[in-house]
């Protein structure tokens, strides 16, 4: 197939890159800038926080310069009400109706609260948002959110920032099989093989931040993630061979000597 035809369609928009970068955790805007470029990402998350007059430079300047679409998140929200208000503020500030919906249950695990997330998703869809919810690896919740009108579902591989990879590949596969909206593996990626696995499992894209921004060499890891996502996607499209218990000769089976 022609690689140019393999685009990600998300919320009616087309993306060539299937790697969505977060901006959290980078030691400086300069490091972030170079990592974003190396990642090839076309969509990048930001958080909404109280304006601090002392802060110089903005992540928005970096994204604007690189022509990267901004995806505000609702990180830090514990209730549907907080998340809806944050999404509306983001829409006002950033002039986008896209939102990565993130409603967490507690500070220690940062695991998403399914009840609050679903409540917020319904309200935001009704308010005209393109809602991309961050959820646990729960196929039933993924289905319900799709039915509620979400533009994608974003199950975690493992807790945010943990780098534990994909703890339950089977659940991710179940979500992928049932979904007709894009499935974006979000959170838990630690290294390139995790991102490749997500794509091999059939995810449409990978969202990651910490694995790159807190790597010893963020720019190099960003390039590694870009390659991993591309490799995993191609492997998925190519169709892997079945696993088998015993060997299957790859050389002709005729005897070498008559």
Catalytically active residues are 100
Quick one: which of 12, 53, 239, 252 contacts other proteins (CB under 8 A)?
A: 53
Shortest spacing between CB 22 and other proteins, in angstroms: 4
125 belongs to the binding site for other proteins (CB under 8 A): no
Stretch that binds other proteins, among 80-88, 113-121, 192-200, 241-249 (CB under 8 A): 80-88
Binding mask 189-228 for other proteins (x = CB under 8 A): --------------------x-------------------
Q: Which is nearer to other proteins, 174 or 206 (CB)?
A: 206
User: Bridge partners of 135?
Assistant: 155
Quick one: which of 102, 116, 194, 204 contacts other proteins (CB under 8 A)?
A: 102
> Do residues 96 and 115 touch, judged by C-beta distance below 8 A?
no
Burial of 28 (0-12, 13-18, 19+ CB in 10 A): exposed
SS3 144: helix
> Do residues 170 and 190 touch, judged by C-beta distance below 8 A?
no
Contacts of 147 (CB under 8 A, 6+ apart): none
Burial of 65 (0-12, 13-18, 19+ CB in 10 A): exposed
Name the residues that contact other proteins, by CB under 8 A: 22-26, 29, 32, 45-51, 53, 55, 58-60, 70-73, 75, 85-86, 88-94, 100, 102, 209
């Amino acid at each position: 197939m022609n690689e140019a035809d393999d685009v990600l369609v998300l919320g009616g928009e087309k993306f060539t890159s299937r790697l969505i970068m977060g901006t959290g955790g980078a030691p400086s805007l300069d490091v972030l800038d170079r990592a974003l470029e190396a990642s090839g990402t076309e969509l990048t998350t930001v958080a909404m926080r109280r304006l601090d007059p002392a802060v110089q430079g903005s992540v928005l300047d970096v994204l604007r310069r690189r022509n990267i679409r901004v995806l505000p998140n609702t990180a830090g929200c514990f209730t549907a009400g907080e998340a809806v208000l944050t999404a509306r503020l983001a829409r006002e500030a950033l002039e986008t109706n896209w939102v990565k919906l993130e409603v967490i249950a507690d500070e220690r695990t940062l695991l998403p609260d399914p009840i609050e997330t679903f409540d917020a998703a319904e309200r935001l869809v009704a308010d005209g948002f393109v809602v991309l919810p961050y959820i646990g690896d729960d196929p039933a919740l993924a289905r319900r959110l799709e039915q509620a009108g979400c533009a994608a579902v974003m199950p975690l591989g493992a807790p945010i920032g943990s780098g534990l990879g994909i703890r339950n590949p089977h659940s991710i596969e179940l979500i992928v099989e049932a979904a007709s909206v894009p499935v974006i593996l979000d959170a838990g990626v630690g290294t390139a093989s995790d991102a490749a696995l997500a794509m091999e499992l059939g995810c449409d894209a990978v969202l990651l931040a910490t694995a790159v921004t807190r790597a010893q060499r963020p720019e190099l890891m960003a390039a590694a993630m870009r390659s991993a996502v591309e490799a995993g996607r191609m492997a998925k499209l190519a169709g892997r061979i079945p696993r088998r218990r015993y060997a299957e000769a790859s050389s002709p089976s005729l005897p070498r000597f008559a």
